[in-house]
Amino acid sequence: MTNDDVPSQTSRPEERYDAVIIGAGVSGMYALHHLREMGLSVRVYDGASDVGGTWWYNRYPGARVDGPGSPYYCYTFSDELMEEWDWKETQSEWSDVLRYIEHVADRFDLRRDIQFETWVQDARYDEATQRWTVETNTGVRASAQFLICAVGALSTANLPDIPGIDDFAGECHHTGRWPHEPVSFDGKRVAIIGTGSSGIQAMPEIAKEAAHVTVFQRTAQFAFPAGNRPLSAHEMAEARRTWEEIKAKMLAHPGGFPFDTHTRSALEATPEEREALYEELWQRGGFRFFLESYNDIAISEEANASLADFVRSKIRQIVRDPATAEKLMPDHFVMTKRPILENGYFEAYNRDNVSLVDLREDPIERFTETSVVTRSGDHPIDMLVLATGFDAISGSMLRLDPKGRGGMRLSERWTDRFHNYLGLTISGFPNLFMIHGPGSPGVFYNMPLGAERQMGWIGNLVRRLRDRNLGAVEATADGEAAWAEEVAALANATLFPRTDSWWTGANVPGKPRYFSVYLGGSIYYARLDEVAAKEYEGLVFEEAHDASDAGAA
Ligand code: NA7
């Protein structure tokens, strides 16, 4: 259904709120809590049947936190949450993360303001009233002064357009839309397309049960041992005891984690020193290669090659069949695609029931009812797992396609790039705020903490409007242009833009190709403070058209 097909809801009374939030994932939940604490009336809509966002959808086998992990991948706004929640593992399973999120929803009574199984089909700004109106597939029509888009950076599934894919008659699941009922692989021949984080997490788990797994790989990946392990009661107690220090470190760290920042250059170390450090980090596992090895891995080709060679040698050591190992050799700059944490992925290729097809030499030509046909021949399968990722960062905003001033659609504004200011606002779309949108650190930052910090800034801006009886705030075109330059300058100082990735939009045909994440990490939050201190430089405020309407619904 397109937005134009939305049935008219004029007969239904309009619900009025101060703010409407789209999305009840980690960001939307915090936005609700924060705005409610500020005294605003808020309504949240989400298409899922409960809270959790990406964690509600991504319940494929092997799905776990694949960043620095617990107990740091969590909200920080409530010390009680830290006191009462016990994380079980360093890389929590999706079900544990979801339980935590559900606990937060219970603890702060969030669900009373969330309407589930409700899809926002239309969001449009009315210049006369300075309010947004949303319409949903359940027939709700609601208006609010503020529209908070917490729609998720990784939530719009990227479905491959391969001839005949719809003809395939067996079970087919996208990892980001995994069924809630158990999926049995028992005795089945399973094809997995995609070797990003999801495919690499899922494959070893599926291989334990399936008759055969064939992985169809477009790009070989650098993956690092996840190093998942149980968190002891002592570790949790220690984290609680030092929580204030941990939080301070998280705020200071470029990625929002309580680690020391690396200050060493790989090029200043001898090859032996580098090897020793890489080996130590490999044995410990986790995200440490990214955060604790050298500070120039993502900047210098030579430094990058030193780590890339190390990982390639590890893959050769682990995978016994040399032909398979060669197909698994990545040839891009390490770290310039989303670093992957694996739990037995490379080892799984030593199983008799796992095989690999390198799509670069043997591309998929089509699907039949019962098979994947590549150039070399037919691969009969019973089940298809699409681990093909997402129209990331910008895709969910474009799916929402809000209409701003003059009825302009976001999809008309975002043709060549994802124009924005501070990653939070868009010129022509007053009073609309994004969390983890393009132009923000989003997926390069501890996401729950990032959501809190972005929402804190948005909250202060909302407070300013209400205190001063202002009707609207909006990015200026100049502000957007300057921000685009800042985002580009940070990215262009690194190797990131030189690799095809979902960070650069290269995974979705036709998408603008540029690195759309703000790479400055915690500098970003200093920039937000600076903008606020300069009377919200780059934003323009508008008087309330109807003074009685601004401030409260
Ligand atoms: P990713 O990282 O985007 O991985 C998707 C994978 O699917 C990747 O290997 C792609 O190859 C591959 N792909 C995508 N489209 C196709 C087609 N048409 N044919 C063959 N292969 C294809 O998504 P994930 O879900 O794994 O991970 C995303 C994040 O979600 C991650 O950070 C986790 O935290 C959770 P490519 O590399 O583009 O050549």
How far does residue 173's CA lie from ligand 1's centre (Å)? 14
pTM passes above 0.85: yes
How far does residue 179's CA lie from ligand 1's centre (Å)? 19
pLDDT above 60: residue 3:
no
The dihedral over CA atoms of 146, 151, 152, 153, expressed in degrees to the nearest 10, equals -80
* Mean pLDDT (whole number) for 301-322: 98
State the Cα–Cα distance between residues 225 and 229, nearest whole angstrom: 11
pLDDT above 60: residue 549:
no
State the Cα–Cα distance between residues 351 and 357, nearest whole angstrom: 15
State the Cα–Cα distance between residues 204 and 213, nearest whole angstrom: 9
Q: Which atom of ligand 1 is nearest to the CA of 194?
A: 7
Ligand 1 atom 36: residue of nearest CA: 219
Write out the two tokens for 362: 């043997």
H or E stretch including 56? Answer: helix 54-57
Write out the two tokens for 202: 């899922």
pLDDT score recorded for residue 11? 58
Ligand 1 atom 6: residue of nearest CA: 194
Condensed to tens digits (0 to 9), the pLDDT of residues 410-456 reads 999 999 999 999 999 999 999 999 999 999 999 999 999 999 999 99
Ligand 1 atom 15: residue of nearest CA: 388
CA distances from 46 to 121, 179, 450, 468, 528 (A): 11, 17, 21, 31, 28
The DSSP annotation for 99-164 comes to: HHHHHHHHHTT-GGGEE-S--EEEEEEETTTTEEEEEETTS-EEEEEEEEE---SS-SB-----TT
pLDDT above 70: residue 41:
yes
The burial class, CB within 10 Å (0-12 / 13-18 / 19+), for 39 is exposed
pLDDT above 60: residue 78:
yes
Model confidence band, residue 292 (pLDDT cutoffs 50, 70, 90): confident
* Mean pLDDT (whole number) for 179-205: 98
pLDDT score recorded for residue 142? 98
The three-class DSSP label of residue 471 is strand
Taken in order of first residue, the domains within the chain and their CATH numbers are 15-51+110-156+391-549 (3.50.50.60), 157-221+337-389 (3.50.50.60)
State the Cα–Cα distance between residues 202 and 190, nearest whole angstrom: 12
pLDDT score recorded for residue 73? 94
- Note whether 26 and 94 are within 8 A (CB): no
Q: Which residues line ligand 1 (CB under 6 A)?
A: 66, 154, 158, 160, 175, 193-199, 218-219, 338, 359, 387-390, 502, 507
Q: Which atom of ligand 1 is nearest to the CA of 386?
A: 7
